[in-house]
Amino acid sequence: MALRGVLQLLFAVLLCVNVDSLQAVQVGGNGTLQVGYYWRTCPQAERIVKEEVAKAVFSNYGLAAGLVRLHFHDCFVKGCDGSVLIDSTSNNVAEKDAPPNNPSLRGFEVIDSAKARLESLCSQVVSCADILAFAARDSVQFSGGLPYQVPAGRKDGRISQANETISLPPPTSNLSQLTQMFANKGLNQGEMVTLSGAHTIGRSHCSSFSKRLYNFNTTMSQDPSLDPAYAAQLKQQCPNSSVSANLTVPMDPRTPNLLDTSYYSGILANRGLFTSDQTLLSNSSTAALVQQNAHVSSALVSELGIMAIWSKHRTADEDHSLEALWAAHSRVVRQLDEIAMDLFIKGFSLIMAPIMDCLKHKHFQWTSDQQNSFEAIKSMLSVAPVLALPDFKKTFHVHTDASSVGALCSGESTSVLGALPVASRFHSLERSYKAL
């Protein structure tokens, strides 16, 4: 399997699994969110939302990023309660009309269309908050991300006030400000760096970063941390005039509509669009995370990270979540198994053993053993093998997996020499078993 740089940086996933920290309103048989919550009451709910998102995104691809951002701006204020969707009234300015949201938030019409269809099919059953969470998930998939399950059962908030959007991190934030804002929501720096990666899709108004180009401080007009060539490009797209206030540019010019690791590579090249992006390099800890995310096979690492974060924030009575965790766990292990053969990670089964064992108990348990295993696998997946010319005076070793139809050949050093096709004595059913 070829290694993919598809980055699973879903605001939707991380915000949903951190729902307790974000103080979202939860419901359910025991007061918690559930995967498949509408299975009996409105079984077509998720399909209908996906259809509406597909129509919108294929008509205007920028709406995928818009829906992800809409979900984030909902969750980060008072929890994932749909309050960002509430209209202002004559005596109240709602969240959607606050400066961080108006005029930049997009995708309201997609949620309205999905809600209208669902109301005609199963009236007053599916909450707007859940529709928004489903729509963000589908937008991620349409942007190249892998599908994932969304626990549902949120109730819609009834209060929406513009002044509460002050908790949203602005693009001008430095690292200390960002860290504090995310900490206020129960999110650590690692999760902050991951969530920042959603800037790999979508566009931004020039006004969000123009100060870095023309009025950085009293001694310098241009931010010295910004790559000069990139700054020159941005100045062409955003001239220093009142006209540029309504102009937009892609946040990740290399792959503006693809959820990948290009955002992190851009930061390493001093091409982070916002101050809040480039500031991630101002601290050794967050810089290391940026470096790691730029080079690791992040589609897998992020799913493992999601499992760890989910475990961190779930309660003891969330046994129904084990089905979703098991599905994610099984998918990750299958992919890691294939990648391990691609890279030949020696001792892979021993390193992965704690992660394999974490679901054998009644409750999903993520301890220091699983975290150490996770960190070790991340490190090994981010370091490519060193190729070397074969030394025919030394012994060659062929490494095979009983479930595979291929093998890896290596010399007595640790260098991988290449993959060699080999015949398999196993029939099709036997090849589906893992030899970990």
Question: Average pLDDT in the 15-37 region?
Answer: 53
> Given a cut of 80, is residue 49 above it in pLDDT?
yes
> CA 9 → CA 138, 172, 252, 302, distances in Å?
13, 21, 14, 7
> Given a cut of 90, is residue 402 above it in pLDDT?
no
Sequence ranges of the binding site for Ca(2+): 74, 77, 79, 81, 83, 95, 200, 252, 255, 260
What whole-number distance in Å separates Cα of residue 276 and Cα of residue 207? 14
Spatial contact of 157 and 78, defined as CB atoms under 8 Å apart: yes
- Report pLDDT for 385: 53
Residue 361 is among the residues annotated as catalytic for this protein: no
Spatial contact of 260 and 5, defined as CB atoms under 8 Å apart: yes
Candidate from 35-49, 104-118, 166-180, 325-339 with smallest mean pLDDT: 325-339
Q: Where are the beta strands (DSSP E) in 127-207?
A: 203-205
Average pLDDT, the chain: 77
Q: Which of 71, 73, 320, 329 is catalytic?
A: 73
- Report pLDDT for 128: 97
Sequence ranges of the binding site for heme b: 199
Candidate from 147-151, 166-170, 254-258, 413-417 with smallest mean pLDDT: 413-417
- Report pLDDT for 105: 95
Sequence ranges of the binding site: 74, 77, 79, 81, 83, 95, 169, 199-200, 252, 255, 260
With a CB cutoff of 8 Å and minimum separation 6, the contacts of 170 are 100, 276
> Given a cut of 50, is residue 22 above it in pLDDT?
no
What whole-number distance in Å separates Cα of residue 417 and Cα of residue 415? 6
- Report pLDDT for 182: 93
Question: Average pLDDT in the 239-252 region?
Answer: 88
Structure tokens at 379: 């490190």
What whole-number distance in Å separates Cα of residue 71 and Cα of residue 12? 7
What whole-number distance in Å separates Cα of residue 308 and Cα of residue 288? 19
Helix (H) or strand (E) holding 154: none
Query: What single DSSP character describes residue 408?
Result: E
Please tell me the pTM assigned to this model: 0.67
> 371 falls in which pLDDT band (50, 70, 90)?
confident
- Report pLDDT for 347: 66
| Amino acid at site 249 | V
- Report pLDDT for 391: 66
6: helix, strand or coil: strand
Q: Is the dihedral of CA 235, 237, 243, 245 positive or negative?
A: negative
